[in-house]
Structures are given as structure tokens and as C-alpha cells.
Amino acid sequence: MRRKTTLDLQRMKAGNEKIAMITAYDATMARLVDTAGVDMVLVGDSVGMVVQGMPDTLGVTLEDMIYHGRCVARGLQQAHLTVDMPFMSYQVSPEQALESAGRLVKEGHAQSVKLEGGERSAAAIAKIVEAGIPVVGHIGLTPQSVHTLGGWRVQGRSDAQAEQLMSDALSVQAAGAFALVLEMVPAELAAEVTAALEIPTIGIGAGVDCSGQVLVCNDLLGFDMAFSPKFLKRYAELQDPMVAAIQAYVAEVREGAFPGEEHSFHRKSAARKVTRLY
């Protein structure tokens, strides 16, 4: 079994075959989503919020992404692995962007890297692609710009915003990106962008007409029932069953019911040796 490549994913776009992408952060979850047949796994800088408990993604470091990239890579056999470039790992210069992307591939075992921004990130994308590293773009709601955007808001609703978003999409494609994430943009606009591009689009809160979709594993499995944005569909609600299972464990430990005989080990009886002295 081999891992999917950028060419495989582009062929899926050409053949109108939808791309299923999931964000994961560790080897166990990577093994599970890979077994389930996802096409792409993203190690997102959302790890800062989902795993590290931060209020946004801005505090995530390149070392964080390298670490989690390595973890996820160990759990994959078929899905393509892309890893986010965190805040301030590519904005300073194209040269900085290339160095950071190189570390994500070399140390984090990424097959491709993802970075936010349209026209403003085109030079960085081109520099990375020129070095032979595939790039996924990301426009619309770009979480690393949350303060500029005024929060977690849908992008591209006005005519001017829609025109800029289309320009950003075309710039990302022209710079050499092989795919583009569209986050929280009107479905009609996402459909127009998808039709205008040769590269696949991956939507999150961007309607059904994108070339594929992405959700965070913890979200679609219902690990946190308090998190319920409009774009999220839960395919399971595991928070309560998980808490119940842990409560049952705690109760059995306190009652002395766990571990039972079937969970315990014992010494083998040593056969006594009799030594004759005559």
C-alpha cells in the first residue's frame, strides 16, 4: 500500500471524485482515520486550540508542528500528509518560508505543507514549490489573521471581498500550489472559485461544491459538545460515553473491583529440588 500523492489528489479533482480530508494530531487517531479511508490528513495548527488549550492558533511553534507531524506520519499508510506552517514561520520572507517548509518535510515527515494567505503569500508559495515541496494554500477565514479579521467571521460576503477572494485563489494557483483550502466563505462563491481553478479546493464551511471537505477529527467525533459552529456535522457524540467509561473505571478502582483476577499476573510455583547426600 502506498501513500497518496499530489498527483493522485489532482486526478481526483479532474475525475470529479470528492476528496475527504481530516485534521489529526497523533499516531493513534492517524491510524484510525487512515483505516477509515480518508484521502488526506492535515496536521493543523489548530492543535494549539484542540490539544494545547490555547484561545487561538497564534502561539503554536514550528517545533510543535514538526513533533505532531512526526506522530501522525507514523500512523499513516495510505493518506497524504500535509502539515500547517504556523504563525510567523513564513511571513518574514520567502527564504524563511522555504527553510520552515524544509524542516516540516525533513523533520516532520510532511508530504506537503499548508500556509495561509492569497496574494500576500504568493512569493512564499512560489519559493517553496520551486524547491520541490508541494504546497496547499488557505484563504477565506485565515485563523492566523483572526485579529485583523475581527474574529471568526465568514469571509467574501460583499462584492469587494468576493472579488479579492477570487484574486487570492488565482494567485495561489499561479504561484504553484497544488490544492487550496477555502474556510468559511459563502457556498456560491466557493463554487465559483472551484470552477475557476484547475487545482482542487478543500472546503470547511464553504458548501458542497468544493472538490473536497475537511473537518477536525475531535469535532466530527463529538469530543467537545460545547463546540458547535454552523459548518460542523457530528458523526458521533463521544463526549458523554467517554466520560461515563472513565467514571466507571474510577469507581471500580476505588471499590477494589479493578483489577480482577483476569487482569492479574502470578508467580510460577518453583519445583523444590531434593538433593540426596548418599
| Catalytic machinery residues | 183
CA nearest to 214, candidates 114, 128, 71 = 114
Other beta carbons less than 10 A from residue 254's beta carbon: 9
**Which cell numbers in the block locate residue 234?**
457530528
Contact by Cβ (8 Å): 108, 66? yes
- The strand pairing partners of 216, in sequence order, are 23
Radius of gyration of the chain (CA): 23
